[in-house]
Amino acid sequence: MAGETFNAQKRAMALELFNDGFGCNAIAREVGVSPASISRWAKAEGLAFDRSQAALAVRAHTIDLAKERVLLAQKMAQAANDMLDMLDGPFTVFNFGGKDNTFASEELDAAPVDARRTIITASAIAFDKASKVVADEQDPGEAGAKAMLRQLGEALGIS
């Protein structure tokens, strides 16, 4: 783009693109000149780029990201639930290896202490991360975070 002349033909093309609602950078790409050239040309012509569309796009993207964070928080909360549910029933322990490369398993009535500790720790981490995501989506007040956690619990059927 450097060194390209912003001639009358390119100015006409830029004006047409401007009238079609293209932004400064998009016009520069289409015309083959720098965005600074388009900006100077627009200012000299008394034209101003409408930023309302860009603001709407940013707002829509922000909303989409918030939705994804809430979905992720729900998945983390569900994962924590699933892990804790493992503690309530029979638990299979197993071992691979040895010189004969054998596999052995045994079903216990409950999870052994080290497995319980690992499951509870992993669940607590998932819950903590989910809670942080949910709290960040609300106002910083405690009431807002509690309300969001309550809604999340209801959605997961754990309230």
Whether 134 and 145 have beta carbons less than 8 Å apart is answered as: yes
pLDDT at 1 over 60: no
Q: Tell me, what's the pLDDT at 129?
A: 84
d(CA 143, CA 69) in angstroms, rounded, equals 20
Q: Tell me, what's the pLDDT at 148?
A: 66
d(CA 119, CA 39) in angstroms, rounded, equals 58
d(CA 34, CA 5) in angstroms, rounded, equals 10
Q: Give the percent of the chain with pLDDT over 70.
A: 84
Of 2-11, 14-23, 31-40, which range is least confident? 2-11
Of 63-72, 116-125, 147-156, which range is least confident? 147-156
- At residue 106, the 3 state secondary structure works out as strand
The amino acid occupying position 146 is: K
In the structure, what pLDDT confidence band is assigned to residue 2 with cuts at 50, 70 and 90?
low
Tokens of 3: 């060194």
The amino acid occupying position 114 is: D
In the structure, what pLDDT confidence band is assigned to residue 106 with cuts at 50, 70 and 90?
very high
Residues 65-68: contacts with CB under 8 Å, at least 24 apart:
66/137
pLDDT at 113 over 70: yes
Q: Give the percent of the chain with pLDDT over 90.
A: 40
In the structure, what pLDDT confidence band is assigned to residue 134 with cuts at 50, 70 and 90?
confident
Q: H-type helices in 6-109, by residue range?
A: 8-19, 24-31, 35-45, 52-85
- Is the CA virtual torsion 26, 31, 37, 38 positive or negative? negative
pLDDT at 135 over 80: no
Q: Over the stretch 49-91, which tens digit does the pLDDT of each residue have?
A: 877 767 777 888 888 888 888 888 889 889 889 989 988 899 9
